[in-house]
Amino acid sequence: MSILSEAELENLYESEALDEARDVAGSLEVRLQQVLSGEIKGEKAKAMLAQDASNLRLKVKAVKLPGLSAICQRLDDYLWHMDEVKEENIRDLQQFSDKILGLLDGSSTPIKDVAADIQALPHHSTFEVSDVKKTDKDVTLVLPQKAAARVVERELVECGYRVSTVLDSLDAFEIILETRPDLVITTAVMPRLSGIDLACALKSMPTTKNVAVAILTSMELDHPDLKALPMSVGIIRRGEHFGNDLAEVLQRFGIT
């Protein structure tokens, strides 16, 4: 019995991860075709597609393809905002599916500029504000609670920004590295990697030091944890100060 080298084992694990991701992506495509044919509709279609997208997001973490995790996260975020799948959503979802399957089976050209590729993907928000002028600015929220994320997102969408939400700070770290959003807003306290640690890490690395970062917090401004932040990190206080602090951060970083 031959013993595989470390490199051979790594290639084997990656190949298995790729096959598993292809299977899940194939299930997502089949589900999408069922929606297209009218076999499943509305809220049920949304729930089933969201489950497939969530499974895919977890599977692709072990696949080393630039931009793939970020695209799957954006698909997950797109579906999260929907109550039901409508006819106008199907073309958007097909675009996601084609992109993901193309990367997994090698038929698509590998992504060179992940940020540009992500920005070109469909973006959806339940907050329809018809009289607001949309901007080309991307904001990534890193918040563990969906309810809190919705409050912050609404404020930003009403100002015309494209907003994506990531619930896990370690996942967000990779996604921010690839997508380079115009602004990252993260809550100070998070599981595994705190928002303060995330902000310090982003500001310490040459590749992300120019990404604007703000901390959302209930702490007093003189709290010792906040004093550890670089001067270039903004502070947004919860409660009565939220609106003014958010406006000040957007103005300070020129994200208007």
Q: Are residues 226 and 181 in the same domain?
A: yes
Q: Are residues 83 and 167 in the same domain?
A: no
Give me the chain's average pLDDT, please: 86
**What mean pLDDT is predicted for residues 217-245?**
91
**For residue 137, is pLDDT > 90?**
no
**Residues 198, 205: contact at Cβ < 8 Å?**
no
Considering only CA atoms, which of 165, 159, 177, 114 is closest in space to residue 140? Answer: 165
Beta bridge partner(s), residue 42: 85
CA separation, residue 194 to residues 24, 49, 169, 184, 186 (Å)? 31, 31, 7, 14, 9
In this prediction, residue 236 has a pLDDT band, given cuts at 50, 70 and 90, of very high
Give 2's DSSP letter: P
Considering only CA atoms, which of 101, 100, 92 is closest in space to residue 125? Answer: 92
Whether residue 129 lies inside any domain: the answer is no
In this prediction, residue 129 has a pLDDT band, given cuts at 50, 70 and 90, of low
- Which is it for the CA torsion 46, 51, 52, 57, positive or negative? positive
In this prediction, residue 145 has a pLDDT band, given cuts at 50, 70 and 90, of confident
**What mean pLDDT is predicted for residues 217-238?**
91
Whether residue 219 lies inside any domain: the answer is yes
Q: Are residues 88 and 146 in the same domain?
A: no
The domain that contains 175 carries what CATH number?
3.40.50.2300
Residue numbers of the domain that contains 195: 138-252
Q: Which residue has the higher pLDDT, 142 or 42?
A: 142
Q: Which residue has the higher pLDDT, 118 or 93?
A: 93
Lowest-pLDDT choice from 11-15, 71-75, 196-200, 236-240: 11-15
Report the domain count for the chain. Answer: 2
Domain end call among 119, 148, 183: 119
pLDDT of 133 reads 61
Q: Are residues 92 and 157 in the same domain?
A: no
**For residue 155, is pLDDT > 90?**
no
pLDDT of 209 reads 92
**For residue 134, is pLDDT > 70?**
no
What is the spatial distance between Cα 191 and Cα 219, in angstroms, rounded to a whole number? 17
